[in-house]
Amino acid sequence: MENKKGINWFFAFIALTLGLTLFKHIDFKNFTLKEPAFDILYLIVFVLSIYFLIKGNNQPEK
């Protein structure tokens, strides 16, 4: 029987929420951010959550 790895819903939820928030905070006309300090923090956490999503699915099966 195959042991399939599923998606980590915790990191998926974080990535989706922060991705939507960042998209709403970017002013594409002037390429500015609403709250630069928070948006940079959101971007860092967004990238880390995507990294952990990808890393978790690429683990070799034992």
pLDDT exceeds cutoff 80 at 61: no
The per-residue pLDDT for range 10-50, each reduced to its tens digit, is 999 999 999 999 999 999 999 898 999 999 999 999 999 99
Q: How many helices (H) and strands (E) does the chain have?
A: 2, 2
For residue 2, the model assigns a pLDDT of 58
The values of phi and psi at residue 45, to 5°, are -70, -35
DSSP assignment of 27-44: ETTTTEESSHHHHHHHHH
Confidence band for 4, pLDDT divided at 50, 70 and 90? low
pTM: 0.78
